[in-house]
Copies of this chain bind each other. A is one copy, B any other.
Amino acid sequence: MPDASAGSDPLHLGAVSTHTQTAEFDPPLQLALGGVLPAVTCGYETWGTLDPDAGNAVLVCHALSGDAHAARHDGADEPGWWDALIGPGKAIDTDRFFVVCSNVLGGCRGSTGPGSTDPATGRPWGAGFPAITIADMVTLQKRLMDRLGIARWRAVVGGSLGGHQALAWATTHPRCVEHCVALATSPRLTSQALAFDVIGRNAIQTDPQFHGGQYYDYPKGAQPDTGLAIARMLGHITYLSSEGMDKKFDVDRNAPRDVVTGFEKRFSVGSYLAHQGDKFTQRFDANSYVAITLAMDRFDLGRDRAALADALHAARGDGAQGAESGVKSFVVVSFSSDWLFPPQQSRDLVNALAHLDHPVTYAEITSPGGHDAFLLEDEIAQYGPLIAAKLGRVTRDAPRLRPTDAPVLELIRPGESVLDLGCGSGRLLAELRRRGHTRLVGVEVAQPKIIAAAARGLDVIDYDLNRGLPAFADGQFDTVVLSATLQSVDELVHLFDEMLRVGRRVVIGFANFAHKTLRDDYAKNGRSPRSEGAGGAYDHPWHSTPNRRFPSIVDVLSLIDERGAALHEAVYLDSASGQRIDAADDPNLNADMAVVVVSR
Cβ 8 A contact of A242, one of B267, B339, B589:
B339
Q: Which residues of B contact A527 (CB under 8 A)?
A: 514, 552, 554-555, 558
**Contact residues in B for A248 (Cβ distance below 8 Å):** 191
Write the chain B residue with the least CB distance to A514: B526
Q: Is the CB of B543 within 8 A of A273?
A: no
Tell which of A230, A240, A264, A270 has the most Cβ of chain B within 10 Å. Answer: A264
Determine the interface band of chain A, counting residues with CB < 8 A from chain B: 35 or more
Q: Is the CB of A526 within 8 A of B552?
A: yes
Residue of B nearest to A588 (CB): B526
Could you tell me if A199 and B253 are in contact, using CB atoms closer than 8 angstroms? no
User: Among A248, A552, A553, which residue has the most Cβ atoms of chain B within 10 A?
Assistant: A552
Once the chains bind, are B526 and A550 in contact (CB under 8 Å)?
no
Asked if A246 is an interface residue, CB under 8 A from chain B, the answer is yes
Is A148's CB within 8 Å of the partner chain B? no
A167 to chain B, nearest CB (A): 18
8 Å CB contact of A528 from B203, B543, B552: B552
Q: How far is the CB of A596 from chain B (nearest CB, A)?
A: 15
Alpha-carbon gap, A558 to B192, bound state (A): 53
Q: A182-218, CB under 8 A of B: which get 1 and which 0?
A: 0000000011101110110111011010000000000
Residues of chain B within 8 A (CB-CB) of A519 are 522-523, 526
A514: chain B residues within 8 A (beta carbon): 522, 526-528
* A7: interface (CB < 8 Å): no
Q: Which residues of B contact A263 (CB under 8 A)?
A: 202, 206
Interface centre among A192, A240, A267 (most CB of B within 10 A): A192
Pair B522/A199 contact, Cβ less than 8 Å: no
A551 within 8 A of B: yes
A559 interfacial by beta-carbon distance below 8 Å: yes
Minimal beta-carbon separation of A24 from chain B (angstroms): 32
The listed residue with most B CB atoms (<10 A of its CB), out of A263, A543, A552, is: A543
Q: Which one, B233, B303, B544, contacts A493 given CB within 8 A?
A: B544
B266 adjacent to A198 (CB under 8 Å): yes
Q: Interface code A469-509, partner B: CB below 8 Å = 1, 0 otherwise? A: 00000000000000000000000110010000000000000
**CB <8 Å contact, B194 and A253:** yes
CA distance in complex: A274, B233 (Å): 20
The answer, yes or no, to whether A525 is at the interface (CB within 8 Å) is yes
- CB of A250 within 8 Å of the partner chain: yes
In the complex, A411 has a CB within 8 A of chain B: no
Q: Which of B206, B297, B493, B559 contacts A226 (CB 8 A)?
A: B206
Which residue of B has the minimal Cβ distance to A544? B493
Q: Does A237 contact B (CB under 8 A)?
A: yes
A201's contact among B246, B264, B559, by CB below 8 Å, is which? B264
Q: Check if A550 sits within 8 Å of B528, measured CB to CB.
A: yes
CA of A251 to CA of B303, assembled, Å: 8
In the complex, A342 has a CB within 8 A of chain B: yes
Q: How long is the Cα–Cα vector from A543 to B245 in the complex, in angstroms? A: 42
**Do the beta carbons of B190 and A233 come within 8 Å of each other?**
no
List 26 A-B pairs, Cβ < 8 Å.
A190-B246, A191-B246, A191-B253, A191-B269, A192-B240, A192-B246, A194-B267, A194-B270, A195-B236, A195-B237, A195-B245, A195-B273, A199-B230, A202-B263, A202-B274, A203-B203, A203-B230, A205-B264, A208-B208, A242-B342, A514-B526, A519-B523, A523-B523, A528-B550, A528-B555, A543-B549
